[in-house]
Structure 1
Amino acid sequence: MRHEAGTAGINVMDGESVLQNRHPGWGLWWKQLSVAALILLFSLSSGLDGLLGGLIVAGAVVGYVAFARSQSRYIVTDERVKKEVGFLRIDTREYRISDIQGIDTAQSLVGRLLGHGHIDVRTSDGTSIPWVGVPDHEAVAQSVRTHQRKYDSSMDRK
């Protein structure tokens, strides 16, 4: 099977081709990173011992975020879309391409500067997969749209 994206860390079904395999942007963990920055900021005023302790705690938080990001993925294959986010608490959801009814994309000013955007993949029953901080989000959304059209034309639907 020919893959257009890396398959590391993905359980691929027989005959399935990976089209997109993206890690979320760092902004998905903005709360944790803000806590690390505050810890570091407050530790600056507490002497050398406090600074060392603050560096260790803030470093541990940043290390957790980096590892959680490396384990998190937004995946598009020729058969499904999938979200796997987290490390200690993993949030997973997937839909078959045939079940997708709509795709919404958005990009904030900060997202434009960083090259990240948001994608919301919706189904007819009202559920959705929100993808936050997706690098090159329009290319990812276009991949889904392209494979929706292929599916629709194979089923003689429009």
Structure 2
Amino acid sequence: MAQLALEAGSPGEAQRILEKGIAKGVFADQRAKQKNERLLESAKKAAATDRASLPRIAKEADAAATGAKNVGLGLAYFGYGEYDKAVEEISKGLTKGGLRSEGEARLLLGISQLKAGHKEDAGKTFHAVKGDPSLERLANLWTLHAKQA
């Protein structure tokens, strides 16, 4: 999972996944543990570089005509566990419009709201995911999860 997060350009998420796994002793055999410790070091380096670029990306996102960069920035904040900042940026992106998939952005916004502790807002956002049956099903599952949280 951490490798996928790195490949998807989410080094913060990869770092968090690996740190949790190592702390919980998920990697029982020594080879797997060493491999994932090396992957963690790689994720930490990538995350440091990525984090340093966020202020520049924020300026570019605010100046952009469409909301795609804001949503991308929100995804980066999500990966670092900065859910309130993720909510702010994804909301800006949705307001600007011009997104490849508004449904995906709304789903990410709802998940960010839920992780930030804004359960009621998350429920409303999940209900607003429309247009793609797969995303609507995912939003319904997240709605159920939010009710249990």
TM-score, L = length of structure 1: 0.30
Question: Which structure has the bigger radius of gyration?
Answer: 1
TM-score, L = length of structure 2: 0.31
More strand per residue: 1
Higher relative contact order (CA 8 A, sep 6+): 1
